[in-house]
Amino acid sequence: MAWTHRHLLGLEQLSAEDISYVLELAKGFREISLRPVRKVPTLQGKTAILAFFEPSTRTRVSFEMAAKRLSADTYAISSSGSSVVKGETLIDTIRNLEAMHIDLVVMRHKSSGAHHLLMKHTDTPIINAGDGYHEHPTQGLLDMLTIQEAKGDFKGLKVAIVGDITHSRVAHSNIIGLTKMGAEVHLCGPFSMVPQFIEDMGIREQVHVHPRVEAAIEGADVVMALRIQKERMPKHLFPSDREYAMYFGLNSKNIRLAREDAIIMHPGPINRGVEMSPDLADCGRS
């Protein structure tokens, strides 16, 4: 098949065939990172703008590194270093850059739907690197590639996603993408951090919400732990970090409810947040 989309705004717009195509393509390009000389001429002569209007380290560097390894020229802008601080609108900022004959905009923005708005006012292809707590499609695709390589196929897999579902754009992309590929998604988090009608984000009969973390994890092939998105939430959505960890944290006891060959995916080192208890480090799971 051929790629027919001009923009990558979310997994909601992609079919299962589109997702399979991207995952297969990614396997070929990943080999580039293992070469002594990590460079191919695929995007030689192309210019990519990395417009990150929200703080980022891993996503921004990942995009910049990928673009450079494909031989594209990259230019990074941020809110604090752009004319946005002087009152220029997002649309005017990108259209001014577009007048310089750019070929691609990779954008992260704090407002959900910012990329859909921009798409109506520019001819340049846009890749969504995260918008508010709407979607983070490239991270979702990366998670799916990891699962595919470990499990081979998505059909029939039980994937548990635990934590702050409401504010996690990664969770939203995963719910959409995984259900399209045939997996069952089981969600668990504080009642105040699991949105109503979340089942409707994927294929309804494939998305299940559980009040207890044990039910979500039991028999899971994949367990994803989400960090608490404190920068995007109002205060007092849960009583305390300690109580959150007690009822919704992963630990060496409850994680053993997952399948013996389950893969555990989490946002960083265990000591970065409260979503995992410290004794998870001793559970011996991959």
Q: What are phi and psi of 168, to 5 degrees?
A: -100, 105
**Whole-number CA gyration radius for the chain:** 20
Going by C-beta distance under 8 Å and a sequence separation of 6 or more, which residues neighbour residue 175?
161, 185, 187, 198, 201, 202, 207
Q: Report the half-sphere exposure of 22 (CA within 13 A, side-chain side).
A: 20
3-state secondary structure at position 100: coil
**Letter for the amino acid at 263?**
I
10 Å CB burial of residue 245 (0-12, 13-18, 19+) is middle
| Active-site pick, 4, 86, 235, 236 | 86
| Active-site pick, 136, 169, 172, 227 | 136
Active site residue 116: no
Is residue 214 within 8 Å of 186, Cβ to Cβ?
no
Active site residue 5: no
| Active-site pick, 60, 108, 115, 151 | 108
Q: Which helix (H) or strand (E) holds 20?
A: helix 16-30
| Active-site pick, 59, 74, 166, 179 | 59
Active site residue 89: no
Active site residue 227: no
Residue with tokens 């053993």: 256
Residue with tokens 């555990």: 264
Residue with tokens 């208890």: 277
| Active-site pick, 5, 30, 35, 58 | 58
Going by C-beta distance under 8 Å and a sequence separation of 6 or more, which residues neighbour residue 28?
none
3-state secondary structure at position 73: strand
Active site residue 179: no
Q: At what angle do helices 137-151 and 16-30 cross, to 10 degrees?
A: 80
Which amino acids are annotated catalytic?
Answer: 58-59, 86, 108, 136
